[in-house]
Chain A
């Protein structure tokens, strides 16, 4: 059963097309993350679903009800904003109950719902305070509470953690995930942070210029990106790309790039690698082995340029035949700059894209 369904949605601001015939179906209880860099239309899409922006064309269904022309309050949604958007002159309690009071919910019911939301989010001691007396994390909790009291099935999050510092962000991330696991309602979450996307999402929609580039679960997005954009966008540091040409010799397939021949015989879709085809080989930094080549594996020599130890792991920036690339190894293995390493590539989990269409082969 679909919870939110977007059909052929278009949005123009004058001559500028922000969204063009976008389709998206979100299942009941699903946690969907809209991921993209700023200006890709992800927040715009969320605002359209919320009813805060009028669409130019297309339809929006929430619980199989056409809400395209409905007011935000009638759509059965709750929304959490990046800047918290708490009403500064009201106490936390008033902030939580404002929507219910506007809707003329009986006072007893309001008290019950506020109490429940405060319990879930553990903000009971803050109810009498003003937003200005709260920390960033507490404010965002209240903002989530405001969506919670509305007793709706669809939660919309517009970059809710972007204003928090790194530590609080990871704490609240876990809390949001816990909240989703206990409430089991549909959540649509906009972010530009891929860690948030990968950790929270059931499915991620990677967006670019108003178009969904790939819609899949986090592991598929990470391991089998649909195109070059998704591959480059997800993962930090970014995937290593080698532009080259397919070559075949002795029953094996190679990608030749700047004098380096990568053996890609193990690539799952090997049949698509016709000799002479221009391709881009993408290898994640953790899919390269350093000085651990097994017998018979192709080995490449590279020189360490910069070393970035991060504790748990160690990031090496290497020069391989003039090209810069990064490799992630275990934290205790150290290589001073200038040392020579022997690399072997795990091409079974690599990604190969057509150079012209930039789509995955």
Chain B
């Protein structure tokens, strides 16, 4: 009875029968093709195909000429690789009267994103630090108001903000848009930083106070050097969020300051002439390139920071 069982198990695991003769010993043998593995890897493969297929179509289409596209085999790799559509998308595509492609929008987006990211992160990190460590009077109320701000739909606030910006004299300018992005980034970023700083050992803060360090010294000398992961998270959130923004870009700026997303929309949706699918695809990939790069470069730090900042509340 025992013998048969041993033989069967040995066969099932694909191990030489001799090894199991004297009963199980050492590391448990594992089957490569277990049902569990098939399900896990199968699901993963299907899901990644689902997400990667559109990207594949975009890339191959952008590398084809228009005649090849008209043939209609969207999954077929390009017979003749051409970078013409990419050049056109970047430098020649027309929106309205301008025919200098996406490049104008790209530089606008850079000029919007960089100051917005820097200012919003600087202000939010100080907010979070003050809320987590200094517990001033009314801190909880202030924090609650800020969090409620995160739940109000943007659309509700657009018209009032237009008026406020107009009164300030910055409506339609890059400055105005930077201010808007900074304000709207505040609730979630403050929450992020507050939770991260609250998760740092409180005794560290106390030790620094006994050492005589004040508000700013503790912030710059103690807290900042320990907070790289959360700054990376905040940076990724803001860069991708602001870069991908469409609504604020179209509402709060004039055409010459349109960010890349708005310009992409205008190129893709232009009604005159033929639909140049290859140019559209190239333009879309170009626009998405910045957030993609950010993810690829800092992905690991991102995960670490999210884990560190999100758990404690």
Instruction: Show the binding face of A for B, using Cβ within 8 Å.
Output: 47, 50-52, 71-73, 77-79, 81-89, 98-99, 102-103, 146, 150, 158
Report Cα–Cα, A82/B207, bound state, in Å. Answer: 11
Taking a contact as CB atoms under 8 Å apart, the answer to whether A85 and B207 are in contact is yes
Taking a contact as CB atoms under 8 Å apart, the answer to whether A79 and B210 are in contact is: yes
A84 to B213, CA, bound (A): 17
Rank and list the top 4 A-B pairs by shortest CB-CB distance, nearest first.
A73-B212, A99-B211, A85-B203, A85-B207
**B254 interface residue per 8 A CB criterion:** no
Beyond A73-B210, A73-B211, A81-B206, 8 extra complex contacts between A and B, CB < 8 Å:
A72-B206, A77-B210, A87-B204, A87-B207, A87-B208, A99-B210, A102-B213, A150-B211
The answer to whether A72 and B209 touch across the interface, beta carbons within 8 angstroms, is: yes
Expressed in whole angstroms, the minimum distance between the Cβ of B204 and any Cβ of chain A is 5
| Nearest A residue to B228, CB-CB | A89
- In the complex the two chains form, what is the Cα distance from A88 to B204 in whole Å? 9
Q: In the complex, which residue of chain B has the Cβ closest to the Cβ of A84?
A: B203
**A89 near B225 (CB under 8 angstroms)?**
yes
Q: B226 near A50 (CB under 8 angstroms)?
A: no
Q: Return A84 CB to nearest CB of chain B, in Å.
A: 8
B201 on the interface (CB 8 Å rule)? yes
Nearest residue (CB) in A for B201 is A83
Q: Could you say which of A72, A81, A146 contacts B203, with CB atoms under 8 Å apart?
A: A81
Instruction: Out of B201, B206, B217, B221, name the residue touching A79 (CB < 8 Å).
Output: B206
Among B203, B204, B217, B225, point to the contact of A102 (Cβ < 8 A): B217
B221 x A98 contact (CB < 8 A): yes
Determine which of B204, B210, B222, B226 lies in contact with A52 in the assembled complex, contact meaning CB atoms within 8 Å.
B210
Q: Which residues of A contact B210 (CB under 8 A)?
A: 50, 52, 72-73, 77-79, 99
- A146/B201 in contact, CB under 8 A: no
Residues B251-285 near A (CB distance < 8 A): none
Cα of A121 to Cα of B305 in the assembled complex, Å: 37
Other-chain contact of A98, B203, B206, B211, B226 (Cβ < 8 Å):
B211
A161 CB to nearest chain B CB (Å): 15
Contact sample, A vs B, 12 pairs, CB 8 Å cutoff: A50-B206, A52-B209, A79-B210, A81-B206, A83-B201, A85-B203, A87-B204, A88-B226, A89-B226, A99-B211, A102-B213, A150-B211
Greatest chain B CB density within 10 A among A50, A72, A86 is at A72
Closest to A147 in B: B210
- The contact string, 1 if C-beta is below 8 Å from chain A, for chain B 181-210, is 000000000000000000001011011111
- Whether A87 pairs with B222 at a CB distance below 8 angstroms is yes
- Distance in angstroms from B138 CB to nearest chain A CB is 15
Q: 8 Å CB contacts to A: which residues of B40-95?
A: none
Do A79 and B207 contact each other (CB < 8 Å), given the known contacts A85-B201, A102-B217, A103-B212?
yes
* A51: B residues at CB distance < 8 A: 209
A102 contacts B211, C-beta separation under 8 Å: yes
A44 CB to closest chain B CB (Å) equals 13
The minimal Cβ–Cβ distance linking A113 to chain B, given in whole angstroms, is 13
Q: Are A52 and B206 in contact, with the CB atoms below 8 A?
A: yes
Instruction: Give the complex CA separation of A71 and B209 in angstroms.
Output: 8
> Nearest Cβ in chain A — how far from B28, in angstroms?
34
Closest chain B residue to A87 by CB distance? B222
Cβ proximity bits B212-228 to A, threshold 8 Å, 1 near / 0 not? 11000100011001100
